Structure 1
Amino acid sequence: MTSPQQPAPSTDSERVFRSTAGMAGGALLLALIAWIVIDAVVRGEGRTPWLALAAALLAAPVVIAFTFRPAVFVGDDRIRIRNPFRSIVLPWGTVADVRASYSSEIFTQGGAKYQLWAIPVSLRKRKTAARRQARAAHDDPHGRTSVHADVSDTKSRVASADQAIADLRELAERRGHAPEAQGEPQIRWAYEVLAPTAAGAVLLAVLLATA
């Protein structure tokens, strides 16, 4: 299971969510693809190098799309979601709800739903957080808090994805009526990913058909 990186401020005061585990997995996959292609070019004969290059042209953009590309940029006026094949910009005034069940999702006032690929839900971490909450409730059944208690420990009992979703929901509720947070959703297809993927698929199909 992957887990979202803690939000960090960027140069334009946005908070950014990314999956560090996903990017690490993507780097390993790209290294494996590169190794296969180099081996095919150096040792392969006949059409093997061309088939390897075409397959890499098809596979590499897909790997990048699902591992390095996903990100969520959170500003005071809008949320910008970069998913594998689409980018969505939602002013907070258009956001109806943000939820996390088996995946992180954001809902608009018009009923549209978009997944937040950069904030994956880890059921294992959610179970771990639930056990911590149960243990804390058992240790202090009346909910009393010592003056010496570490307040930061409260967030440690919540799964990181659930905490991120709670933060986004709170921001949507707080900024949803601000004049600066109004507007229409904007959706753009990631042609920089789709174009090389399509080219690789066509080239691979042609090579296989003429073999």
Structure 2
Amino acid sequence: MSEQPGYADHVYRSGSALVGGALLLALVVLLCGDGIVNGEGRVRWLSAAGLLFLAPLITAFSLRPAVYAGRERLRVRNPFRTITLPWAAVDDVRAGYSTEVFADGRKYQMWAIPVSLRQRKKALRQSGGGRAPLVPPRPGAAPVPGGRGGDSRPQADQAVEEILELSGRHSADEAAQGAPSVRWAYEILVPAAAGGAALLLLTVLG
């Protein structure tokens, strides 16, 4: 029996967030680094605390978010949490004003798959239809004409359809059973909290 193809290594990320985050992080490192190297006295401490506070936050909201869709589970890496959802636990995935996954009676946002209303309006104009739907069609629905490969739907809607297809294909697999789990990103939270506390202390002390 041949094995069904899947999206074992499929990763969803926002290209614009990655580029913007990398540029902003480089700017913060440059400015704070200059303050640490060339500053004097309190300026050095403020620059170091600012770098410790800002760098994790910029990383959290731009470089960190990602969605990993494998054969056994969906792993959603958001700014401060990582949610692991076996396919059997996934109830639905929707792209409204944000992309959300519903599992075990709870709702989790997927930061790595932003919804672009501009893309929706563009797809609507190309299709010549009426109001653009906030929820993408189910797998197997006819694509909207006019885009690449006959599909001009927004990227978020296409990603949701692919994830729903994977969920339907693998939810009954033995390896895809289990309950959702959530892990906090302490590697982000701890340095950001330390940097914020240091900035506050330096400000209070003058």
TM-score range, shorter chain: 0.7 to 0.9
1:132 to 115, 123, 126: 126
Distance of 2:37 and 2:146 partners within structure 1? 59
**1:196 alignment partner in structure 2:** 191
What aligned pairs does 1:1-211 form with structure 2 within 5 A after superposition? 13-108=8-103, 110-134=104-128, 153-155=149-151, 157-211=152-206
- Which residue identity does 2:67 align to in structure 1? V
Q: Secondary structure at the match of 2:75?
A: strand
Distance of 2:98 and 2:34 partners within structure 1? 38
Distance of 1:42 and 1:68 partners within structure 2? 26
Offset of 1:122 from its aligned partner? 1.0
Q: Secondary structure at the match of 2:179?
A: coil
Offset of 1:172 from its aligned partner? 1.3
Structure 1 gaps, min length 5: 1-8, 136-148
Deviations 1:18-47 (A, max 9, x none): 111101001111111122213323553431
Distance of 1:34 and 1:175 partners within structure 2? 44
Deviations 1:99-128 (A, max 9, x none): 0011100001x2101111111111111111
Stretch moving more, 79-88 or 40-49: 40-49
- Which residue identity does 1:154 align to in structure 2? G
TM, length-normalised to structure 1: 0.82
Offset of 1:197 from its aligned partner? 0.5
Q: Secondary structure at the match of 1:153?
A: coil
Q: Secondary structure at the match of 2:108?
A: strand
Deviations 1:64-117 (A, max 9, x none): 011111111111111111111001110110001000011100001x21011111
Offset of 1:154 from its aligned partner? 1.9
**What percent of counterpart residues are identical?**
48
Alpha-carbon RMSD across the aligned residues, in angstroms, is 1.9
Structure 2 gaps, min length 5: 1-6, 130-144
Offset of 1:152 from its aligned partner? 5.0
Q: Secondary structure at the match of 1:39?
A: helix
Stretch moving more, 86-95 or 167-176: 167-176
Distance of 1:206 and 1:185 partners within structure 2? 39
- Which residue identity does 1:153 align to in structure 2? G
Distance of 2:112 and 2:61 partners within structure 1? 9
Distance of 1:68 and 1:17 partners within structure 2? 12
- Which residue identity does 1:27 align to in structure 2? A
Distance of 2:124 and 2:173 partners within structure 1? 35
Distance of 1:210 and 1:45 partners within structure 2? 17
- Which residue identity does 2:171 align to in structure 1? G
The count of aligned residue pairs is: 185
